[in-house]
Chain A
Amino acid sequence: MSLLKIKGLTMRFGGLLAVTDFNLNLEKGELVGLIGPNGAGKTTAFNMITGRLKPTEGSMIFNGLDIDGKKPSQINRLGIGRTFQNIHLLTEMSALENVMMSFHGRLKSPFWAPILGFPGYAREERTMLKESHDLLERVGLEDLAQTEAGNLAYGQQRRLEIARALGTHPKLLLLDEPAAGMNPRETNALMELILTIRRDFDLTVLLIEHDMKFVMGLCERLVVLDNGATIARGLPVEIQQNKKVITAYLGERKSAGR
């Protein structure tokens, strides 16, 4: 059984078809890339999967459950974690608090437990604290645990978002341009990180990225979007040779005047 099964997913913004008839089957443990020129609809697809946008059409089955119409928090608790293209951290909270926050959705103690000082809550808080430190260490931010998230460097913020997504114990991790704004050294470390967390946390990963070296080196297969339509899918080597993909990217270069 596949972990995520998407059929005919479509998103219409007024007259604009941001995503049309998007299909995707993710098997457990896969590492898949979603690529395409700017404005292709990649982030929109993520937003539909994570419940931020309600699809105009289509169905999404995650782990045997229909997730269409569920709230972002519900979908997260079912096991889909994500990071954002335009980073959404709690900028006034410390890096540690940001990660601790991600355990809250699974908290067992009711709100009166901390008020009445129940030991069960204190235990949960201790676990939360320890696991958060472990996650920070994993993404290399242990020394910056007490730093306000808003004061971290760009690459550090991206890694903090990954730690935070991991804190929600996802089965599927969606990464929206995780390498954006990183230098080559950071990008290499990130590839390493994604591979190790996939192994250690038993993850399935779907990622969006513009850095072709990153995508080709990391992903097992790719899906290419252009103007909302799926124009190609296959192994990285196949995609590199694909005429449609090359034209789509070249067209973008021309129109962007790069």
Chain B
Amino acid sequence: MTPKTRDRWLTYLSVLVLLGILVLAQEYADEYQVRILNMVAIYITLAVSYNLINGVTGQFSLEPNAFVALGAYTASLLTLTPLEKGMSFIIDPCIWPLSVISIPFLPAVIIGGLVAAFFGFLMGFPVFRVRGDYLAIVTLGFGEVIRVVANNLQSVTNGPLGLKGIALYTNLWWSWGLALVTLFVINRLVKSSYGRALKAIRENELAAESMGINAFRHKLLAFTMSAFFEGMAGALLAHLITTISPMLFTFFMTFNLLIIITIGGLGSITGSVLAAIAFAWGSELLRAVEEPINILGLYTIPGIPGMRMVIFSIILIVVMIFARKGFMGRREFTWQWLFDRMHRKGIGL
């Protein structure tokens, strides 16, 4: 057996183990644990797709919250029944044809992704034509615009009231299914000639262009693809928490993802996965620090909302000081690496 086939089987095997864990979780885990597992998967999807444009292609952008919002709103408006829309939209009635449409979950998720990708394409087109730091500024603005529009386009988004009563369709199969598909697609892309072209653009755009690589098209490809997966993740998120409003999609969401991909290592897919797991889990564990803490029944320290963000920011700063390129740098976890480590430690195989 060549190392390559061995590694492939090991990957299949670990996916199988993951599915086993999900079956068990579905059976025995409580609602809270299932929710964390769902969030972990959604964060993996988001981080890996955000990393494609920010890390692999090296184009610093700040928009995932916008694409997540687009996917979440699109899919929710498509799955909500006309009756539910009639009840929610109390200020302005929902516009036709949205008011009468109701489609199944799967096409709604895909359309959510496509709408996000469409906007990604439209935005990327002018932005990637100009060089420099425009991308960060334009995408940051775009996130805000989407939120403001969501707040004001009463007859489509129901404004600040948001959408309620979204069906709880997202379960472990959906969330982990999307995470695995995202990983599969982006990993294959990054390992192909296209991925090498994206990295070449990150490293030296001038060299890449002089070798016949159209930097503009490749950036647009990476950006649109990350928008597509972020939109679908947004659709799943909406059908997990069942209530969405513009408040949910602030820059904070992007900031969290930025922390994840930076800590994981910009450009490392496995780094993003590990950091996403740590983050989603960690933010649940750290929920305690935002609640009032009672010390020996004597004092009560009042809860400080936002404390978790402070902690994550400190972790980010520490990581940046001691490991400037993040946890994984640009390296990837490979089975070969694992074998080499075990070998060195004297664990035979």
Contact = CB atoms under 8 A, between A and B. Distances in A.
A101 B204 contact: no
Interface string B199-236: 11001101111111111100001000000000000000
Given A90-B200, A111-B221, A115-B188, A76 B210 contact: yes
Contact of A107 (B191, B193, B330): B193
Given A73-B215, A93-B200, A103 B209 contact: no
A52 interface: yes
A101 B197 contact: yes
B192 interface: yes
Given A52-B206, A90-B199, A101 B211 contact: yes
A167 B188 contact: no
A134 interface: no
A79 B259 CA distance: 43
A100 B214 contact: no
B207 A71 contact: no
Nearest to B203: A90
Contacts of A81: 210
B191 to A, nearest CB: 8
Contact of A104 (B189, B213, B216, B221): B213
A77 interface: yes
Given A100-B196, A115-B188, A128-B193, A89 B207 contact: yes
A192 to B, nearest CB: 25
A55 to B, nearest CB: 17
Interface of B is mostly: helix
A114 interface: yes
A91 interface: yes
A103 B213 CA distance: 9
Interface in B149-199: 185, 188-189, 191-194, 196-197, 199
B192 A73 contact: no
A97 to B, nearest CB: 6
B210 A82 contact: yes
B213 A105 contact: yes
Interface in A83-119: 84, 88-93, 97, 100-107, 111, 114-115, 117
Contact of B209 (A76, A91, A106, A121): A76
Contacts of A97: 196
A76 to B, nearest CB: 4
Contact of A50 (B185, B188, B200, B210): B210
A66 B215 CA distance: 22
Contact of A89 (B185, B196, B204): B204
A125 interface: yes
A10 interface: no
Contacts of B215: 73
Contact of B193 (A84, A104, A165): A104
B196 A105 contact: no
B211 A167 contact: yes
A91 B200 CA distance: 10
B14 to A, nearest CB: 20
Given A101-B208, A105-B213, A121 B192 contact: yes
A164 interface: yes
A72 interface: yes
B193 A73 contact: no
B332 to A, nearest CB: 14
A168 interface: yes
A12 to B, nearest CB: 21
Nearest to B191: A114
B135 to A, nearest CB: 18
Given A90-B207, A92-B330, A104-B193, A168 B212 contact: yes
Contacts of B197: 101, 104
Contacts of B216: 71
B330 A115 contact: no
B188 A88 contact: no
A114 B210 contact: no
Nearest to A116: B188
A219 to B, nearest CB: 23
Given A90-B203, A93-B200, A76 B211 contact: yes
Given A89-B204, A90-B199, A104-B197, A115 B211 contact: no
A128 B216 CA distance: 23
Interface in A52-85: 52, 71-74, 76-77, 81-82, 84
Nearest to B330: A92
B330 A72 contact: no
A103 B208 CA distance: 11
Interface of B: 185, 188-189, 191-194, 196-197, 199-200, 203-204, 206-216, 221, 330
Q: Which 7 A-B pairs have the closest CB atoms?
A: A105-B212, A114-B192, A76-B212, A72-B209, A88-B207, A73-B214, A102-B211
16 contacts: A50-B210, A52-B210, A71-B214, A72-B210, A76-B212, A84-B207, A88-B207, A100-B196, A101-B197, A101-B213, A104-B194, A104-B212, A105-B214, A107-B193, A114-B188, A115-B185
Given A97-B196, A104-B211, A114-B188, 14 more contacts: A71-B209, A76-B209, A76-B210, A82-B210, A84-B207, A90-B208, A93-B199, A101-B196, A105-B212, A111-B194, A114-B194, A121-B192, A125-B192, A167-B211
